[in-house]
Every structure is written in structure tokens, then in C-alpha cells.
């Protein structure tokens, strides 16, 4: 949200919390003004519509997380390690920022801009791993593999948000089981999924 002024950023952060808690169609101007701690007139001056605000928040979250995950890879070229780390980044962030996690968990399979998160780095790493022989699945199964990754991440995030598992437990399990399903040997999948996870870089 670097292009937003401080008031707009405050409104967007409040909207993220409200959308995560109430849903996309249950937030009104009064709710938003109260949550953001500003006057209703301030909301009207900085907002076209609630629907437009939702789309802007969703698009920003997708682009920002995509950029941060890609930046985290650095010189790491192994598609399996990149995938394991990418999955665990999402799950750890759900623990660190519960409203962010709740928003992603609630809308990422229904909103087009959020669905794009699953077709960025994960798709590139799947194709790279398949071409190099690192993974073992048929190319026509690519869409199903992406859905498997998304489902594993969202399921693990839910466990973390509900307090059933720690982010380390849920993240490592999701990454390990996914890598095994893609053809990585069990011991290596476990090793790749339990290593120290680096910090998630800030966006440029």
C-alpha cells in the first residue's frame, strides 16, 4: 500500500480486518469509519465504493505476497525447497497476522486476484521440477497439483488460525506431504520442510 496516504492506509487496514471478520458483503461505511477511527466523511472522500475497496485490498495482498515470496528465494534454485518455503511463508504469516490469514483463507479461492497467488511461483516451480525430473507427475495434472498446493496451504492456515496446530507443525506437515505427493522421497521431503525458514523480505 505504498501509494496510499496515511489516512487511506488506515482505511485499508481497517477494511482488511472487517472483511476477514464479516465477509465481503457485510461491511458498511459506518463500520469502516468506526474501525478506522475516522469520520464518515473521510471515508466518502477516500473511497469510491465498498466493492471497489475490497478489490483493491485483495489485489494488493496478492501482489505484495507474490513479490515477497519471490524475493525470498534469492539464489535458491531447487524448486522443491522453493515450494516448501513458499508454502510455509503463507502459514507462518497467518500466525503472525491473523486478520491477513483469515482474509486469505476466506477469499483466496473465490476472488480472481487472490487466486492468482497460486498461479505464480508455485506454477513456475512445478514446471521447473517436472522438466528437471525433480517431480514425478503428468503434465496434464498441473492444475490439480496447483489445487493440491492451495488446499494444503489453506487447510494448514485454518489449523493455525483455530489454534489446533502451531505454524511450524502445520507448515512442515503441509510442505512435506505435498512434496511427497509430487515425487520427493520421504526423508528428503521431511528435511526440506523442517529447515530454518528465513525472514520474509519486505516488498520493494
The pLDDT score that the predictor gives to residue 137 is: 95
Q: What is the pLDDT of residue 46?
A: 86
pLDDT for residue 194? 97
pLDDT at 5: 83
The single residue listed with the C-alpha cell 498446493 is 149
> What cell does 74 get?
534469492
| Average pLDDT score, the chain | 92
Q: What integer pLDDT is reported at residue 84 of this predicted model?
A: 95
Question: How confident is the model over 27-76, as pLDDT tens digits?
Answer: 999 999 999 999 999 998 888 889 999 998 999 888 889 889 989 988 88
Label residue 1 by pLDDT band (50, 70, 90). very low
Find, among 149, 21, 146, 166, the residue nearest to 92 by Cα. 166
| Residue 120: predicted pLDDT | 77
pTM listed for this prediction: 0.90
Q: Which residues of 51-69 are buried (b: 16+ CB within 10 A; e: fewer)?
A: eebbebbbebbbeebbebb
Say how far apart CA 97 and CA 180 lie, in whole Å. 29
Q: What is the pLDDT of residue 83?
A: 94
Q: Which tens digits make up the pLDDT trace of 134-165?
A: 999 999 999 999 999 999 999 999 999 999 99
Task: Name the grid cell of 4.
Answer: 496510499
Q: Say if residues 62 and 70 touch (Cβ distance below 8 Å).
A: no
What are the pLDDT digits (tens) for 82-130? 999 999 999 999 999 999 999 999 999 888 888 888 887 788 889 999 9
| Cell numbers representing residue 198 in the block | 528465513
Q: Where does the pLDDT of residue 166 fall: very low under 50, low under 70, confident under 90, or very high at 90 and above?
A: very high
Q: With contact defined as beta carbons under 8 Å apart, do 90 and 122 qualify?
A: no
pLDDT of the residue at 144: 96
Neighbours of 189 (CB within 10 A): 22
Amino acid at each position: 500500500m505504498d501509494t496510499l496516504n496515511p489516512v487511506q492506509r488506515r482505511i485499508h487496514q481497517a477494511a482488511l480486518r472487517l472483511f476477514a471478520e464479516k465477509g465481503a458483503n457485510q461491511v458498511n461505511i459506518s463500520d469502516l469509519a468506526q474501525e478506522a477511527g475516522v469520520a464518515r466523511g473521510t471515508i466518502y472522500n477516500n473511497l469510491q465504493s465498498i466493492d471497489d475497496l475490497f478489490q483493491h485490498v485483495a489485489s494488493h495482498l496478492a501482489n505484495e505476497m507474490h513479490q515477497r515470496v519471490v524475493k525470498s528465494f534469492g539464489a535458491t534454485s531447487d524448486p522443491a525447497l522453493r515450494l516448501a518455503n513458499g508454502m510455509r511463508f503463507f502459514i507462518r504469516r497467518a500466525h503472525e497476522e491473523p486478520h491477513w490469514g483469515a482474509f486469505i483463507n476466506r477469499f483466496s479461492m473465490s476472488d480472481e486476484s487472490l487466486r492468482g497467488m497460486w498461479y505464480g511461483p508455485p506454477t513456475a516451480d512445478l514446471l521447473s521440477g517436472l522438466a528437471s525430473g525433480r517431480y514425478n507427475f503428468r503434465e496434464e495434472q498441473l492444475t490439480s497439483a496447483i489445487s493440491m498446493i492451495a488446499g494444503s496451504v489453506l487447510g494448514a492456515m485454518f489449523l493455525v488460525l483455530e489454534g489446533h496446530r502451531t505454524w511450524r507443525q502445520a507448515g512442515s506437515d503441509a510442505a512435506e506431504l505435498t512434496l511427497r505427493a509430487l515425487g520427493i522421497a520421504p526423508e528428503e521431503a521431511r528435511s526440506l520442510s523442517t529447515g530454518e525458514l528465513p525472514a520474509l523480505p519486505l516488498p520493494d
